[in-house]
Chains A and B, each alone.
Chain A
């Protein structure tokens, strides 16, 4: 992809990013931050590409470390956000939480 189209896409994405979150209430700041945090875990795609092209064992090792870290970001991010948001609707589930844990 040439530089100009990439720049166009980037600038448009900046404005979309500004627009979609501009009117969020403070109640949802934490889940929104956590959800956005999960989305950048998509660096996993980059890590997979690099690991898939690695010929040298050292390169592979570093790339696989990146895959592990990116997966933790992606999977952990979405799971913890889901748990957080579940609480907003979780009526009658108070007993689910252990008291002494």
Chain B
């Protein structure tokens, strides 16, 4: 097997919060607390979980939008979490991002032409002015927007079209990995389908790897090769699509899947209704972080943190229950 495109090792990101009148006493939000995974070339890995589980923070750490607290992010064999700014610059070309909100992620004062030309110029990808023009028009074709739209500004487009511009901007740098942070969540059903199809086509065409961050499990199932489920800053289960959706092993994954309402009237299921809310990441529970809501928790879960271990083949689970001999 070839080396993975991206490797994340024991990644931690703790955000300090200042308390007290003079901001002296400091607590931390343990947003991401020891996360490891890999993404192969051309692969889609989805990060799923509920608000506040740290999935977006992982995405931003990979993009190095902030420095990490601990751990490593390795792109193609080279560490980028502590790379020098000059090397980082070249690495940034290889990892691009598409954000959730197409309204706030495009500069309203720039024409589409300039939005797309900026990364091409920054990374010195165009040989000449003609080449730049060729690339920019090709990008419009790729994301299926009319070429005439190049001279317009973002406010003249609908949400779905803006998301296409955002995708074209990410593609302009010729990346190998695109982080899609809830990239289709804000879109209406019919437009969402258009963008999902576009992302799948682009992946095939350019051999892109995608880190698809989403809370929409049906879309994830449709798009992904592998899934990592996060809960309170930790990965609780990571497995290929088939295993996650056919035979989830972690109680949280099971609850999450069973809670999704199905568009099939009369489909009688017995959803696992979790008690209570997600605890605060400022004071995460001891032991297994899910034990406060887990219907199967026992004493060991409250004191000892379960490690992510291989349950079967490529399916990895962090649960004491799973480590018990099965009968």
Chain A bound to chain B: no
A-to-B contact residues, CB < 8 Å = none
B-to-A contact residues, CB < 8 Å = none
